Structure 1
Amino acid sequence: MKKYFATLALSLFALAVGFAQKKAQRVVTTDVDNFWVAYDSMRTTQDSVKQLHYLQTLYLDKGTPGLKAMREVRNYKPEEWVNAIRKYPKFWNSLRPRTQLAKSGADGLEPHLKKLRQLYPPLKPANIYFAIGVFRTSGTYKDSLVLVGAELVTGNSSVDVSELPQNLQTFLRQYYSTNPFQNMIPLNVHEYVHTQQKSLGNMLLGTALMEGACDFMTELVTGKTMPLPYMEYGPAHLPELKEKFKAEMFETWDGNWFYNRNDPHPDLGYFMGYAICKAYYAQAKNKQQAIKEIIELQYDDDAAVEAFLTQSKFYQEPLNKAQLRKAYAAQKPVITRIIPFAGADSVLDATVQEIRLEFSSQMLRFQAADYGSGGEASFPVVGRVGFSPDMKSYGYKVDLKPGRSYSFKISGFRATDGKPLDSYEIRFRTKP
């Protein structure tokens, strides 16, 4: 009998622990409070060095694991907060009272996590952290942490965005008009599913499936699609989107489908991944096994995601990957000439002050130059001349010395249809 009661006590204890673990999903808002303490101190001085000190000691150094993870995932630098606080006081002052909404950020979430656990029994616990960043994420994740950008999700149309850069004003006016905090449950479910996944996407198809899996699971859990514009535009334009996606899905470039908030219809990669996952689930006989396969798919394994796509029957016709990639490559912009290079001759006079690239297509205003294979010592670029009026060439200012070897790598160029120019290393020597 003693053994029986001891066993019963242990069983009850185990149940209590298990229940406590399931109820231990927490919303952590410490970083929001710490931010405003730092903000108040920063506003007492115009000395940027002192402001950086206040930000570092009162906000960043006291950061929760969530803030630390958000800084890593979004590559936030302390100077970004300082610059934003100095330049946009109307924004921060009008946003401030609304950030207190973060304290109720998981109200009503637990029943949905219970439903998610029923659909996916291996569900691991995760904490939800609200922190104030600098406009680069409303929600993301790292490992078992759900990370929410309070400066985005708590805003609404009452927030003054008039001091912000024009493109950010345009984005935030549209985003805040949706009163995003009212959609915290689907946002949190989406990011919670991310914490269960095991990899990131490699090519566009993998990234779309990774994000679409979260949107699809959110729909299964809440009974509603994600309340975002791409879920309205996508179904209404599915045939044309399928053709466009098919042409690009085996590429690693995903800028036409994700994080393109200045496009008229951004983030359609989420919808495409959602639609493929939904098709996969629809054809599966064992629905719970299908859910497991959707969440645990190795999104960075090209063969695995291609097999997943085939099994989904999203595209009824057979797909020829090599043919699609060849056709896509033929449409990408290329460098047609480098001035003053003379054909294959890569020996320049040291008096040259500009190197200009000519392109096969008109380009958008994106570019980057970085060290080439010779490192910093052989980097010749000292400034930018910029694009020509027709946007078909771009010039770099260079400072050259006789008898030297130089190299630099260009990247980030995109044609007006969004197709990227392949990264290219420019190497040359100067005459003695």
Structure 2
Amino acid sequence: MKNLLQVFFLIVTMSCYCQIKNQNFVSTDIDNFWNAYEKIISTKDSVQQYNFLKDFYIDKGTLGLKSLIEVRNYTAEDFINSINKYPKFWNSLKPNTLSCNELYPEIEADINKLKQVYPDLKPSTIYFSIGAFRTNGTIQGDRILIGSELSLADETTIIDELPLWRQSFYKEYNPRKNIALLCTHEYIHTQQKELVENLLSMCLYEGVAEFISCKVTGKQSNSPAIEFGKNNQQKVIDLFISDLYLAKNNYNWLWGENKNVLKIRDLGYYVGYEICERYYNLSKDKVKAVKTLIELDYNNEKEVERIVDATKLLPESLEKLKHDYEKRQPKVVSIKPFKNGSKKVKPGLTEITITFSEPLNGYDAGLDFGPLGKDFCPKINSERVWASDLKSWSFKADLKPDQEYQILITNSFKKQDGTRLKPYLINFKTNK
């Protein structure tokens, strides 16, 4: 009997070991970085420093490092400047990065919890690399890219050389302690459909990853925005509604710009988190709710509306909020020197003036091809002129004879408060 028990526990132990080994971790970039780092700080010769960086870090980089550099647009100058500016920071960070393998079991355990709730989870590789302070974690395809200079810091990391605005991240987020939650969050991003660039979708995209990673692991979000949002919900939602369809304020809500009037970083995470939490709590089938949220198609406006409206977080339906916004949008009221749709426009270099229903901000503008494409758009001069009252805008187009043309006046035009112009298609034909 004793031998049978020993065999049973051996099988269980081997099963757990195999489960942990299912997750692929790659951290060779960290070793390469410190090798390059020691060589870089050994000389003041900038040419040599750049060569050391290239030869010992960049060129030896994993697919994860190459993705990190591409996604965050890192340059060699970014790395060299960061290395030279913050010696105390780097020396204090080094032990934490070299021991990152100690974190693998907790990360693996949390990902296994996600797999239990979302059986369709597709495998992703987690790469620990070192960047230059632009992300603690992001993805590219099925690669999870961990910026270890941010994500592996703890209370032993010396941050007083860093700019004050950057220090706040280390103080507020306790990154190394929360690395498993971060990896689960990013793992969910690798499962999601492509993000749509509007404020609501951006908040939902992050909210799905944050809420589900917390729910499946039983861990509390380390984002201060979540607690602040729950304690100040009305203020946050009122501000969110005022910004919802504006062109200029997306980054007041996400990814650390800290420009919103409440002075709280990443409040968009709270908005998305709250929507997902409410939707999950309202759903009888919790597993189906998780699947619905992770696999949400952000291009499917009806499905986004269904989920958001069901939670009743916003004061009106999305359809009503959008309708109210559209009533506030400025419009094109006329064009000169011909009427839109004319079939008898004189060819040659022609100044076209667009008149708006109200003054715009005097600097945001945009032209594009119409539905017929590039071949049906005239050559347009670079000179663009605003009227003194900001209610009209002119440009010159070279019009060829006997040609149908389309020019799209885009919603890049905005009012001073960021309200976008309703797009307007100019369609006309020139004389022979």
| Structure-2 change in CA distance of 1:415 and 1:70 (3 Å) | farther
User: After superposition, where does 1:228-243 map in structure 2 within 5 Å?
Assistant: 228-243=223-238
Contact 1:21/1:125, CA 8 A, preserved across alignment: no
Q: Which residue pairs with 2:217 in the alignment? A: 222
Change beyond 3 A, Cα 1:161–1:113: closer
Task: Quote the residue 1:156 is aligned against.
Answer: 154
User: Which residue in the other structure is 1:171 paired with?
Assistant: 165
| 84-93 or 60-69: bigger deviation | 84-93
Tell me the secondary structure at the aligned position of residue 106 of structure 2. Answer: coil
2:343 counterpart residue number: none
With 303-312 and 79-88 compared, the bigger mean Cα shift is at: 303-312
The structure-2 alpha-carbon separation of the partners of 1:182 and 1:414, relative to structure 1 and needing over 3 Å to count, comes to farther
Report if aligned partners of 2:360, 2:413 keep a CA contact under 8 Å in 1: no
Q: Deviations over 1:233-273 (max 9, x none)?
A: 11001112122222333456511101234442010101100
**Which residue of the partner structure matches residue 39 of structure 2?**
41
How many residue pairs match? The answer is 351
> Structure 2: how far apart are the matches of 1:50 and 1:21?
45
Q: CA RMSD in A?
A: 4.1
Give the deviation of 1:207 after TM superposition.
0.9
1:156-181, CA deviations, whole angstroms, 9 ceiling, x for partnerless residues? 344333443xxxx2234332234320
Match of 2:111 in 1: 113
1:198 aligns with 2:193: yes
1:8 paired residue number: none
Residue 21 of structure 1 and its aligned partner are, at CA, apart by 7.4
Residue in structure 2 matched with residue 315 of structure 1 by the alignment: 314
**1:132 paired residue number:** 130
Q: Helix, strand or coil: the match of 2:219?
A: coil
Aligned equivalents of 1:72 and 1:86: distance in 2? 22
Aligned to 1:12: none
Partner residue, 1:147: 145
The one-character-per-residue Cα deviations of 1:116-161 (angstroms, maximum 9, x if unpaired) are 1121110111121111101110111122111111111222344333
Mapped to 1, the partners of 2:283 and 2:149 lie a distance apart of 41
Report which of the two structures shows the higher radius of gyration computed on alpha carbons: 2
Match in the other structure for 2:256:
260
Residue 414 of structure 1: how far off its partner (Å): 12
Distance 2:327 2:106 in 1: 49
CA distance in 1, matches of 2:67, 2:142: 10
2:70 counterpart of 1:72: yes
The corresponding residue for 1:391 is none
The 3 A distance-change label for structure 1 pair 243 and 111 is same
Give the counterpart letter for 1:147 in structure 2: L
What TM-score, normalized by structure 1, do the two folds share?
0.69
Q: CA deviation at 1:42?
A: 1.3
Contact 1:247–1:324 (CA under 8 A) maintained in structure 2: no
Judge conservation of contact 1:186–1:218 (CA < 8 Å) in 2: yes
CA separation in 1, counterparts of 2:240 and 2:328? 11
CA distance in 1, matches of 2:310, 2:47: 57
> SS at the partner of 1:177?
helix
Relative distance call for 1:111 and 1:154 in structure 2 (3 A) is closer
User: Which residue number corresponds to residue 334 of structure 1?
Assistant: none
* CA displacement 1:250-298 (0-9 Å, x = unmatched): 4565111012344420101011001111111122222211111100001
Distance 1:327 1:226 in 2: 38
1:202 Cα deviation after fit: 2.4
Q: Does 1:123 align with 2:118?
A: no
SS in 2 for 1:106: helix
1:22 shift after superposition: 7.2
Q: Contact 2:64–2:143 (CA<8 Å) still a contact in 1?
A: yes
Q: Output the CA distance in 2 between the equivalents of 1:187 and 1:414.
A: 37
Q: Which runs of 4 or more aligned residues in structure 1 lie more than 6 Å from their structure 2 counterparts after TM superposition?
A: 16-19, 367-370, 412-417
Question: 1:353-372 alignment to 2 at 5 Å?
Answer: none
Deviations 1:291-316 (A, max 9, x none): 11100001244343223212333336
Residues 215 and 225 in structure 1, CA contact (< 8 A), matched pair in contact too: no
The 8 Å contact of residues 254 and 268 in structure 2, kept in 1 or not, is answered as: yes
Q: Tell me the secondary structure at the aligned position of residue 322 of structure 2.
A: helix
Change (3 A) 1:84 1:19: closer
Aligned to 1:50: 48
- Contact kept, 8 Å, 2:26 with 2:126, in 1: the verdict is yes
Q: Which moved more, 1:155-164 or 1:236-245?
A: 155-164
Q: Is the 8 A contact 2:258 2:265 kept in 1?
A: yes
Shift of 1:64: 1.0
Q: Contact between 1:218 and 1:225, CA under 8 Å: does it hold in 2?
A: no
Q: How does 1:298-377 map to 2 (within 5 A)?
A: 298-315=297-314, 317-319=316-318, 320-326=320-326
Q: Could you tell me which residue of structure 1 aligns to residue 428 of structure 2?
A: none
Equivalent in the alignment of 1:389: none
CA shift at 1:87, angstroms? 2.8
Q: Distance in 2 between matches of 1:261 and 1:292?
A: 31
Matched with 1:294 is: 293
Closer/same/farther in 2, CA of residues 368 and 154 from structure 1, 3 Å limit:
farther
1:122 and 1:287 map into 2 onto residues whose CA distance is 15
Of residues 237-246 and 297-306 in structure 1, the stretch that sits farther from structure 2 once superposed is: 297-306
Residue 184 of structure 1 is aligned with which of 162, 167, 179? 179
Q: Does 1:93 align with 2:86?
A: no
Pick closer, same or farther for the CA change 1:288–1:157 going to 2, 3 Å: closer
Q: Provide the TM-score with structure 2 as the length reference.
A: 0.69
Q: CA deviation at 1:421?
A: 9.1
